[in-house]
Structure 1
Amino acid sequence: MSRLLPRLAARTRITASTRPFLPASQCLLHTSSPAYATPLPITAHGPPPKPPLPAGEIADLRRRQKLERAENTLLSAKGGRFWKEVSVIESSNGALGINLDTRPLKTPTKQPILIPRTKPILAAAIALEWSLLRTSADALKSYLIPLTGLASRAIDLQASEAEGAAPAASSVAKRDDIVENLLRYLDTDTLLCFAPTTPPEEGRKSLREMQEESARPITAFMTTNVWPGVKLVPVDGDEGLIAVEGQPQETRDVIRSWIERLGVWDLVGLERAVLATKSLLIAARLVAEWSEEMQFSMGREKVFGAEEAAEAASVEVRFQTGRWGEVEDTHDVEKEDLKRQLGAARMLVSGVKNLTSPSL
């Protein structure tokens, strides 16, 4: 029967009365001629689109985007940060504080940052760091506020050593831990590691000659003025580059005692310089030159600053780059960053008591 229906439909005129009796598949839906699709060339570039996210993740993403837009709007309305002006004020006890509008600047342990009044340049430099920040998020980038970080560490260390220190100060590194960590650099000090002797080259100093020339005035100054009579034993490359014996115990005891007696500002400055140069001697020479607590540095011209300390710490780098050339955006950036860290350490320890050089 089903085979006869197409023939019947072809021979019989379909009317309104007969249409309901035909199957739906045999009824024409339209009478227009068919039009075929024309494929277009692919003009899209780049990676394929990301796969669709589940409904829950889409809701979280939209919520985060909404919060970010609100935060960006708020920062834009306030100039990108929640403060407008940075000022240095004098507190009731004579120390120098830094205010963001009317809010005092504080350390991570909520201690107010109060700079000794003998360090007005340090206080002004910290205020300048915060005045140059464009957004509040920039305050989380430690390389933009190096002096603030060093001052905060010194203040927190001072608070932790005070009697009846707050519980929050217990998270600050102890003086003994800092001293032990600094003494580890003594046996493999950058200044006291000499390369093996090599045949002379015409018109060029050997690496060992450059190292000895750089180390000689620093060790002479330290063993004469800071640690009188102390014997410093270098790591001689001709005998091996591994410090088997290290420094004599008498030397370690004298240097340990000297570090333990440092004030918190000098100790933190020494720590920063040691970590930057990998040399306890270079860092101690810098601190001894600029510390306001070192009496022998009074009344004479200062000759050892951040530039000199950076050169002493990078003798081998200067030797190699002088022979093979510098790598752009690597050696030059590291050189400036080293001077930045040493300059921050110098400014932390210096004060108006012995500040006679106009270059600072």
Structure 2
Amino acid sequence: MAYATTRSLLHRRAIFPPLLSRRNLSVSATADSQLDSNHDPSSSSAPDHSMESSNGDDAIFVKTRDKTSVTMPTSFMTGSIVGKRFYEQVTTRMADDGNGWTVMLDYRTLKTPSKRPMKLPTLGLAKAIAAEWEYQQKDGIRPFTMPLMKLVCTALERVPVTRAKIIDNLMRNFHQDLVFCRFPGDSDLTKGVLEKQEEKIDPILQWVESEFGFKPVTYSSFFVGKQEEGLTKEIEILLKKTNDCQLASIDAMAAAAHSLIIPLAIFRGRLGIEEAIELIRLEEDHQVDRWGLVEGGHDVDIADLKVQISAAVVFLGLSQRI
């Protein structure tokens, strides 16, 4: 069969895999004695807490003597509970140099994986990150409830040093974008999907032509097609003009959507969250309508997609200075 289904084929081929590694992400905090005159973290009377899991690789260390630091293990980005909540109050304040905002865990300044103060571009984003830390329960810190924290670490630490690789990865998979793939219309199994693609995706392709000056090519072959060089160059130029937060958001959405056009349409204000999710799930929703929803399968996929896209869109908005 010389035809490719749209999202199922792309999913199997892992189009737009997340380039940004989830390994070795750490979050640190350091004491600031000026925040609390009644507490001197360098004092010998300060408590010394150390929490360690049974697995040495997943240990969390919290020390409150000469330095106060919290190092999150690999599991911080893979969903495991990484340790008990070690702080009482979460606040935000302006950075010491007046350039950006920081999040405070008690008297500790939240730091980036490379142990630099985490300076956020807007107060709104700082408040959102603080809310994620405030949400954590006494019995454990749950990384999967902190998608904005993950995006912040990506934007501040990974994007600046891997920007060229991120863009290369996005452009390498651009020709296999979800919105360019079409179901064949000569089968009862796929005809309904093709009709939905024409109704929902054709307006986005028209927007691409209007926005970038080149008409996209659609295809239904396993060997896919190739977009015009002019369109490819215009998309790459746009990516190169993004700042680190914007590129982190676009890359995260592309990984979830198996598409670069959909994140760019969100970035340019052409699509909203619900519209984007509808386009991404066009084929699967058609199959669910026909054959039924698999509990613990389809519903989990839908929830995960909504979190990934919504978090990236919120991060994109909150990170922009007005």
**TM-score if structure 1 supplies the norm length?**
0.62
What's the counterpart of residue 102 of structure 1?
107
Runs of 4+ residues over 3 Å off in structure 1: 198-201, 351-355
The CA distance in 1 between the partners of 2:138 and 2:113, in whole Å, is 19
Note closer, same or farther for the CA distance 1:246–1:262 as it changes in structure 2 (3 Å cut): same
1:280 equivalent in alignment to 2:281: no
Note closer, same or farther for the CA distance 1:353–1:189 as it changes in structure 2 (3 Å cut): closer
Aligned residues: 244
Shift of residue 323 of structure 1? 0.3
What's the counterpart of residue 85 of structure 2?
81
The CA distance in 1 between the partners of 2:88 and 2:297, in whole Å, is 36
Note closer, same or farther for the CA distance 1:177–1:96 as it changes in structure 2 (3 Å cut): same
Larger relative contact order, structure 1 or 2 (CA cutoff 8 Å, min sep 6): 2
The CA distance in 2 between the partners of 1:275 and 1:214, in whole Å, is 21
SS state of the match for residue 201, structure 2?
Answer: helix
Note closer, same or farther for the CA distance 1:219–1:111 as it changes in structure 2 (3 Å cut): farther
Equivalent residue runs for 1:138-149 within 5 Å: 138=141, 141=143, 143-149=144-150
The CA distance in 1 between the partners of 2:250 and 2:128, in whole Å, is 19
1:182 equivalent in alignment to 2:162: no
Note closer, same or farther for the CA distance 1:121–1:308 as it changes in structure 2 (3 Å cut): farther
> 217, 223, 236: which is aligned to 1:233?
217
> 229, 239, 249: which is aligned to 1:269?
249
Note closer, same or farther for the CA distance 1:272–1:321 as it changes in structure 2 (3 Å cut): same
The CA distance in 2 between the partners of 1:281 and 1:316, in whole Å, is 17
Deviations 1:25-81 (A, max 9, x none): xxxxxxxxxxxxxxxxxxxxxxxxxxxxxxxxxxxxxxx98x9xxx9xx9xxxx932
What's the counterpart of residue 154 of structure 1?
155
Shift of residue 112 of structure 1? 2.0
The CA distance in 1 between the partners of 2:186 and 2:283, in whole Å, is 14
1:125 equivalent in alignment to 2:109: no
| Mapped contact 2:266–2:272 kept (Cα < 8 A) | yes
Any unmatched runs of 5+ in structure 1? 1-63, 161-171, 290-302, 356-360
Deviations 1:241-265 (A, max 9, x none): 321x411222211111111111111
SS state of the match for residue 350, structure 1?
Answer: helix
Deviations 1:201-228 (A, max 9, x none): 9xx9711011122212222223323x2x
| Mapped contact 1:269–1:287 kept (Cα < 8 A) | no
SS state of the match for residue 194, structure 1?
Answer: coil
Shift of residue 198 of structure 1? 3.2
| Mapped contact 2:252–2:308 kept (Cα < 8 A) | yes
The CA distance in 2 between the partners of 1:268 and 1:347, in whole Å, is 12
1:343 equivalent in alignment to 2:310: yes
SS state of the match for residue 198, structure 1?
Answer: coil
Give me the CA root mean square deviation. Answer: 2.9
Which letter maps to 2:118? I
Which letter maps to 1:176? A
| Mapped contact 1:154–1:268 kept (Cα < 8 A) | yes
**TM-score if structure 2 supplies the norm length?**
0.69
The CA distance in 2 between the partners of 1:112 and 1:129, in whole Å, is 18
What's the counterpart of residue 260 of structure 1?
240
The CA distance in 1 between the partners of 2:222 and 2:194, in whole Å, is 13
Note closer, same or farther for the CA distance 1:205–1:194 as it changes in structure 2 (3 Å cut): closer
| Mapped contact 1:270–1:284 kept (Cα < 8 A) | yes
Note closer, same or farther for the CA distance 1:105–1:354 as it changes in structure 2 (3 Å cut): closer
The CA distance in 2 between the partners of 1:175 and 1:343, in whole Å, is 23
| Mapped contact 2:121–2:321 kept (Cα < 8 A) | no
Deviations 1:303-350 (A, max 9, x none): 732211111111000110010000002111111111111111111211
Identical columns (%): 30
Note closer, same or farther for the CA distance 1:348–1:146 as it changes in structure 2 (3 Å cut): same
| Mapped contact 1:189–1:278 kept (Cα < 8 A) | yes
Any unmatched runs of 5+ in structure 2? 1-52, 64-82
The CA distance in 2 between the partners of 1:135 and 1:275, in whole Å, is 32
Note closer, same or farther for the CA distance 1:146–1:322 as it changes in structure 2 (3 Å cut): same
Which letter maps to 1:316? E
What's the counterpart of residue 193 of structure 1?
181
> 172, 196, 199: which is aligned to 1:210?
196
Note closer, same or farther for the CA distance 1:115–1:259 as it changes in structure 2 (3 Å cut): same
What's the counterpart of residue 304 of structure 1?
271
Shift of residue 121 of structure 1? 3.1
Shift of residue 122 of structure 1? 2.4
